[in-house]
């Protein structure tokens, strides 16, 4: 099994369902004292949705917490549970099962009402993130059974070099090099899949792919510049 890209025409209805649920989730969170916004992983992400073989369509979202009452920052378990409960409430209007709490995200499974015999049509993951003072993104991580002592630990985990990812993605697109990001993104997702590495969710893979392509072509960290490559053609 391996990840492949899904064409936009196939993914459109799934994106629409997810957006409706997450919009409702943000509305519910606001009532709880949490200001957040969601985004599909990738730059625009319309051409970054993947599927593992014949498995469910897999969409990955970030939920960026911009403001929250102090009690949530002091109790990260409360923050994640509040998001999970809001997501579950929003899903009840659709046909999702309750969100499952994994280490780095919340996972929801969709079952369409007109295909009741299908186990899972698609899933989507929601990673809870914030920005640190340096502008890098931090993922909320739930480490279960820490040190095999039966204890849970909630912590923020920095995504290295993520603060410039949008600007770098835009610059890559302007130079007509976006396909290289897509290729590298897919290669890395399948690499981590083959390693059974669950510590690299899609957003982390995306940041890595953008930075690698950027450094290769824009002469950051020893790569060749785009201009020099074009002159050689």
pLDDT recorded at residue 95: 61
- What average pLDDT does the structure give for the chain? 84
User: Cβ distance 114 to 153 under 8 Å?
Assistant: no
User: Cβ distance 109 to 123 under 8 Å?
Assistant: yes
Query: CA 18 to CA 60: how far, in whole Å?
Result: 10
Q: Which of the two residues, 47 and 43, has the higher pLDDT score?
A: 47
Q: What is the pLDDT of residues 149-168, one digit of tens each?
A: 668 899 999 999 899 999 99
How far is C-alpha 121 from the chain's CA centre? 19
User: Cβ distance 25 to 83 under 8 Å?
Assistant: yes
Domain 3-161 has CATH 3.30.460.90: yes
Query: CA 50 to CA 57: how far, in whole Å?
Result: 7
pLDDT recorded at residue 29: 98
Q: What is the pLDDT of residues 98-129, one digit of tens each?
A: 788 888 899 887 765 555 445 556 778 999 99
What's the rounded mean pLDDT across residues 205-231? Answer: 71
pLDDT recorded at residue 46: 56
Q: What is the pLDDT of residues 183-201, one digit of tens each?
A: 999 999 999 999 998 888 8
**47 pLDDT exceeds 90?**
no
Query: CA 225 to CA 168: how far, in whole Å?
Result: 14
* Helix, strand, or coil (residue 49): coil
What's the rounded mean pLDDT across residues 59-70? Answer: 95
Q: Whole-model pTM?
A: 0.85
Cα distances (angstroms) measured from residue 211 to each of 138, 162, 177: 17, 9, 13
User: Cβ distance 79 to 140 under 8 Å?
Assistant: yes
What's the rounded mean pLDDT across residues 136-143? Answer: 95
* Residue linked to tokens 């009532």: 31
């Amino acid at each position: 099994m391996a990840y492949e890209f899904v064409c936009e025409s196939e993914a459109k209805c799934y994106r629409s369902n997810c957006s409706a649920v997450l919009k409702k989730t943000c509305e519910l969170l606001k009532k709880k004292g949490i200001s957040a916004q969601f985004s599909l992983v990738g730059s625009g992400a319309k051409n970054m949705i993947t599927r593992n073989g014949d498995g469910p369509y897999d969409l990955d979202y970030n939920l960026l917490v911009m403001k929250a009452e102090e009690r949530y920052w002091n109790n990260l378990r409360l923050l994640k549970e509040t998001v999970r409960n809001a997501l579950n409430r929003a899903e009840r209007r659709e046909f999702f099962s309750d969100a499952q709490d994994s280490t780095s995200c919340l996972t929801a499974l969709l079952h369409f009402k007109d295909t009741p015999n299908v186990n899972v049509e698609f899933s989507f993951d929601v990673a809870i993130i914030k920005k640190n003072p340096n502008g890098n993104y931090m993922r909320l991580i739930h480490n279960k059974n820490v040190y095999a002592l039966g204890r849970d630990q909630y912590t923020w985990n920095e995504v290295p070099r993520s603060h410039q990812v949008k600007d770098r993605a835009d610059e890559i697109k302007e130079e007509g090099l976006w396909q290289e990001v897509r290729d590298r993104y897919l290669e890395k997702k399948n690499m981590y899949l083959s390693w059974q590495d669950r510590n690299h969710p899609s957003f982390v893979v995306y940041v890595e792919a953008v930075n690698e392509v950027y450094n290769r072509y824009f002469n950051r960290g020893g790569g060749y510049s785009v201009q020099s490559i074009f002159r050689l053609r």
